[in-house]
Structure 1
């Protein structure tokens, strides 16, 4: 029992002390065991039989010490592992908290879905706000958040990522999402969906990461749009500069129109048409140009007819002419065809043309409408006009109209110079006509005076004076006509309208011209339906009108009867003068009442070509109208209509 207690003490020393104290205690215990516990007791001599016991004692003590050392080492390692695990957990929790904080405050949209239903496990505030901050977002499947169509589109992407394990990377993905006020707002994202895996490597969720690039994309779109507009405007400026260059130097109407349509096609339009406005409100197609991609077979029908009904302001095609504003149809459809024409052939032509966009711009110079300039794009080219194109097309039309007006003014100036030269030639001849016989009569009078040394016979002098008086009267009439034309051109023609009897005036003129008519072989036949015809007119000027008509009838009547008739028609005074003379050609009728216009050769008939011009001006100034009906070789009928006072009006006859 004492030995066991001793052994226990040694083992305990090795257990508690470890290798160092254990070895020392074991070595000392060998001596103690040999001296106190092995026989013979108290003897330091070791017998061979005791060696086995000592070795066993030593081995057992070392074994106990070894167990202690290893156990202590294992405990230390275990404690170290536990400490490391605790530290790792603390670090992981810290990192998790830090990452969560980063996620929550990240300037990007972050979301984590879990499971095949893509349940929201995490959504940072930015992403939640984008979704409209729906309540209880976490735990909801992706298909239940947002508009149905958009949610399904996102869910299909997530299904693909979850099923294949392949990430999804989307650039500038558009999503329409609800806002707090219930409206939908479009967002544009760069988004990435990456699968997450469990410990077995299986996909268990999806992490989403996205940047809102809405402002960037819109800014880029604006920049691209502005760049396109800038390029577009630069091209327009180059075109305008080129147009101004050749339009400014073009003084020919037809060349100007050709230049305009060739400038527009194909840069600005697939088809370009110019219609000239006529005085009666109709249009005349002047030029047609088309791009090479357009069928040539349509060009001739477009040249031969206008696609606009003539002069009706209710129709869209004529609006620019009547209202001075461009007509713009961005998307030309069959629904608008009836606004342009009710002619089936024209409708078929427009359908075959396949118009996509149309701009019709009025050609206006000052307050004068020159016509219409039409720009057309077709479905063959796919081009379409927008409201941004209108200012440029209007400016081009304005410059074209200015060039056309300059060409017209140049043409009129040349015509005016030609008429001036022709007029000066005729005027000098006409003014010499009365002077020549006057000069001859004066020379004859001188010779007669030389032959009669005494007083010249009265009859001879009176005959010479009659001839001179007639020639001076002709000269005075020529001068008066020139003065009237000058007053009309300057706007200084004045009238002094007083109550007068037109029937009396006509009778006086017919009576005065019976002699000249008889000398030409004609007979004046007067027919007045009323003995008197009172009105308010300028008597001298009205007498000038009647004299011009009667004098022309005598001059061109070829010695045949001339009928002068005065009557009342529809509340107006109607004076007609009919001759049976040479008549007037059809092509000369429209210009007959123009200044310096003559329907006959000045070599056979004298005159300045001013009489009918002055007649028309005087009649219109008194509120009336004058017209002519004639055929070549069948005489002429001139009609003057003047307004009469209302039946209730009391027009007093002039005092004698």
Structure 2
């Protein structure tokens, strides 16, 4: 605080006395304020003041300045603390070198100019304070005061601790205003951003899914518009080429800034955020935005101005950040410049979100593994139940004829050939079941050995299909075989190909009660395609992804028989894979 009185100025920390012709330091040395000696201090600012034509300002020539102004200015120039003086009714501005940073680009233009001319953008705030000091002689103190200054070519969000203190002249009247200032912009904004990050970290603790992590992050950013006027989170699809919008705030739905799907590196996509292809730069980039590209004036958060740029930061997970999970877009405040601190804030937001995504995806994967293991366990239980039934049925059908044959032999009666045939059929049924289980076991263990040889695949397939014709036609279904000769022999393992064809035909016949079953073989470029189609009951859409899984059976499906282990189509899938092919169902 500065307390003014005639002839001297008192500071709380240091006592400085003003005497005619100068002022005395506490040690007693007299500092002259006569002539231009009082402008010798201040290095750059003293030199500028000496060079300025003060006669063109309301203060007039230097030699007409009152002793109170000379003494106050001498103190100002000699201090390393940011100090300014506003003098006279025009509040003409004088300041030291430390205070010049407050002006930004207005320095040195502002020297010797009226306060209203220097600060028109904040006059509504500081004008009444000047009035209070000049008219009533009352000091003011403002702490972390928001002042929207225009000092670097744009309206800037700034915060200051400052005093306006009266400086009295020789007659005791208030002649000027002593202004001591500390800029607190970086501390205030830094604390605010730290609080956003704290809230983000708290919100993203123990998030069970990636989508919930994005939802919570967006909700936190909804309350942080001073630093992120708008935001969007995109997550990459497994292909690594497509990003899907997972959440946004402050963006009009469906606009180029909130496109639901973005193809990385695509020049044709209408999305504003042209995310780079995999392998490109992993650093935060700044993207310019305009009303034309945005679809409307970009939100400016709490400020009336529209944002003009945004941060785009990749979400990097995996070892050493080697895997891109997506991107986070943060609008840049129109009242803050992009500097290192602002860029680090955007990157910290991305780090917090990435950590939550990695944890959530690990949780999701673990959950899926647990569910898969539980499903396998259920399938195994059903499998062993089915296998037990499959073994028991033919064994039961064999035991009774064998008992009859044993009694007949004991009695010397002739052998019943029909009962022998029944025993043989059920023995073959058991053998087929055991062979299927062994085949699948060998495939899963990687011990299956394929013996490929050039084959007339059309003739082999037609021959295999014809073995089913009698059974299919007895069931009231037509069998159509369309397997013309191919352009050249195909290398297949005959035994494995037989299992593929017969399993597919068996499955089709099992669920077809009328109409037709068609077996078709075609050349398609370098590939050969086998199609087995039918007019049966069809397969529910929800069952299609699991159709070729081991032990899987479609529950409740209408069937000619409920026999089966649930590994027939899984066996076909594995045998096809051994032939470097793939199988699907439509």
Which category describes the TM-score, using the shorter chain as reference length? 0.5 to 0.7
Q: Distance in 2 between matches of 1:509 and 1:435?
A: 26
Change (3 A) 1:362 1:234: closer
Q: For each residue in 1:67-109, what CA deviation from the matched residue of structure 2 results, as whole angstroms up to 9, or x when unmatched?
A: xxxxxxxxxxxxxxxxxxxxxxxxxxxxxxxx9xxxxxx9x9x
Question: Paired residue for 2:265, among 313, 328, 336?
Answer: 313
Superposed displacement of residue 566, structure 1: 1.6
Matched position secondary structure for 1:558: coil
Superposed displacement of residue 401, structure 1: 1.5
Other-structure match for 2:536: 581
**8 Å Cα contact 2:390-2:563 kept in structure 1:** no
Superposed displacement of residue 322, structure 1: 4.0
Superposed displacement of residue 423, structure 1: 0.7
Q: Distance in 1 between matches of 2:437 and 2:54?
A: 95
Taking structure 1 as the reference length, what is the TM-score of the superposition? 0.54
Q: Distance in 2 between matches of 1:480 and 1:602?
A: 26
5+ residue gaps, structure 2? 1-21, 23-28, 89-93, 105-160, 162-180, 301-305
Q: For each residue in 1:21-48, what CA deviation from the matched residue of structure 2 results, as whole angstroms up to 9, or x when unmatched?
A: xxxxxxxxxxxxxxxxxxxxxxxxxxxx
Question: Paired residue for 1:466, among 396, 408, 425?
Answer: 425
Q: Distance in 2 between matches of 1:380 and 1:595?
A: 59
Other-structure match for 2:135: none
Matched position secondary structure for 1:167: helix
Other-structure match for 2:219: 262
**Corresponding position: 1:511 with 2:466:** yes
**8 Å Cα contact 1:257-1:287 kept in structure 2:** yes
Change (3 A) 1:318 1:529: farther
Other-structure match for 1:601: 556
1:98-137 to structure 2, matched below 5 A, reads 113=36, 127=43
Matched position secondary structure for 2:223: coil
**8 Å Cα contact 2:54-2:62 kept in structure 1:** no
Question: Paired residue for 1:374, among 320, 325, 328?
Answer: 328
**8 Å Cα contact 2:315-2:353 kept in structure 1:** yes
Other-structure match for 2:314: 361
Q: Distance in 1 between matches of 2:344 and 2:549?
A: 45
Question: Paired residue for 1:481, among 440, 450, 474?
Answer: 440
**Corresponding position: 1:626 with 2:583:** yes
Q: Distance in 2 between matches of 1:527 and 1:565?
A: 5
Q: Distance in 2 between matches of 1:519 and 1:550?
A: 15
**8 Å Cα contact 1:309-1:317 kept in structure 2:** no
Superposed displacement of residue 164, structure 1: 5.9
More helix by share: 1
Q: Distance in 2 between matches of 1:623 and 1:350?
A: 55
Question: Paired residue for 1:562, among 514, 517, 523?
Answer: 517
Q: Distance in 1 between matches of 2:565 and 2:429?
A: 18
**Corresponding position: 1:529 with 2:484:** yes
1:162-241 to structure 2, matched below 5 A, reads 165=66, 167=69, 231=191, 235=195, 238-239=198-199
Superposed displacement of residue 411, structure 1: 3.2
Matched position secondary structure for 1:469: helix
Matched position secondary structure for 1:317: coil
Question: Paired residue for 2:295, among 348, 366, 388?
Answer: 348
Matched position secondary structure for 1:628: coil
Q: Distance in 1 between matches of 2:569 and 2:42?
A: 90
Other-structure match for 1:641: none
Q: Distance in 2 between matches of 1:170 and 1:548?
A: 102
Superposed displacement of residue 271, structure 1: 4.6
**8 Å Cα contact 1:357-1:378 kept in structure 2:** yes
Structure number with the bigger relative contact order (C-alpha 8 A, sep ≥ 6) is 2
Other-structure match for 1:89: none
Q: Distance in 2 between matches of 1:172 and 1:392?
A: 44
Matched position secondary structure for 2:206: helix
5+ residue gaps, structure 1? 1-98, 100-105, 114-120, 133-140, 144-150, 175-186, 196-207, 338-346, 630-656
| CA-based RMSD | 5.4
Question: Paired residue for 1:553, among 495, 508, 515?
Answer: 508
Q: Distance in 1 between matches of 2:519 and 2:74?
A: 94
